[in-house]
Structure 1
């Protein structure tokens, strides 16, 4: 959830910003069977950590 998109590091890689459409779209490409709304719901329920979101989406 970096404000400066040109400075991305490890912390930025492990988190997903629900307000960043490119990050939601990236997850949508990983899980094409899930809608953008389902992905946003997963982020709200599981928090911003990418690992938790991906685990949740792969199980549901």
Structure 2
């Protein structure tokens, strides 16, 4: 399992969500990240999800 970081920001730059989760690969991480964003109602906020190598898996501005 690999550890991914999911972060959501306000327009001001303040963090609304900053958490880690594990997934088998980038595709699974994308699904988990999108589900978590939908759960919290942050799908349309600025967000990013990065892999352990700092590769962007999800990004929305």
TM-score, normalised to structure 1's length? 0.31
Structure (1/2) with the larger strand percentage: 2
Q: Which has the higher contact order (CA 8 A, sep 6+)?
A: 2
Structure (1/2) with the larger helix percentage: 1
